[in-house]
Amino acid sequence: MASGPLNVKFVATDGLVWQGDALSVLVRTVEGDIGILAGHEPLMAVLVPHGAEVVTADGVRHVIAIDSGFLSVFANHVSVLSAFGELAEEISVDEARVELAALHAKVQAAEADEREIRRYRKLQSQVKAGEKYHELIKRNP
């Protein structure tokens, strides 16, 4: 098993979301959650909207809202590519919930256009990541 930190990048279509060295990365694939540590076997996976988690060497936990996308792991380099990405500490969960509720009925009734569906998925990711971030803060003040 290789030692040393993971070199991690979260990249969205509009640019770099987070980059740095980490002890671990936790993401959600279409098959379930997967944790990545140093020395992980090479891997590619399809991701679903969720709040990914990164733990740095000094124990700081970052939660990043992502849309569906891809994970690549090779030689302690971890890349997460997603259409959308945002640090959870920058998300207003209450605002995201309000907007999500406003779009919910339209999406459920199949009346939403493609732009509204993308916005709905982004809001779902924001709420999930924001809730995860706030839960981590409660457990580790």
pLDDT in tens, 23-69: 999 999 999 999 999 999 999 999 998 899 999 999 999 999 998 89
Burial 72-100 (b: 16+ CB within 10 A, else e): ebeebebbbbbbbbbebeebebeebeebb
Q: Where does residue 29 rank: exposed (0-12), middle (13-18), buried (19+ CB within 10 A)? A: middle
Domain boundary among 64, 87, 110: 87
Token pair belonging to 125: 């990711």
Average pLDDT rounded to a whole number, residues 3-30: 95
Total domain count, the chain: 2
The SS3 of residue 21 is strand
Average pLDDT rounded to a whole number, residues 105-127: 90
Domain boundary among 87, 111, 130: 87
* pLDDT band of 2, cuts 50, 70, 90: low
Instruction: Clarify whether residues 69 and 111 are in a common domain.
Output: no
Q: Where does residue 131 rank: exposed (0-12), middle (13-18), buried (19+ CB within 10 A)? A: middle
Q: Are 23 and 57 in contact (CB under 8 A)?
A: yes
Instruction: Clarify whether residues 34 and 71 are in a common domain.
Output: yes
Instruction: Clarify whether residues 100 and 81 are in a common domain.
Output: no
Look at residue 67 in the predicted model and tell me its pLDDT: 87
Instruction: Clarify whether residues 23 and 55 are in a common domain.
Output: yes
Q: What's the whole-number average pLDDT of the chain?
A: 91
* pLDDT band of 141, cuts 50, 70, 90: low
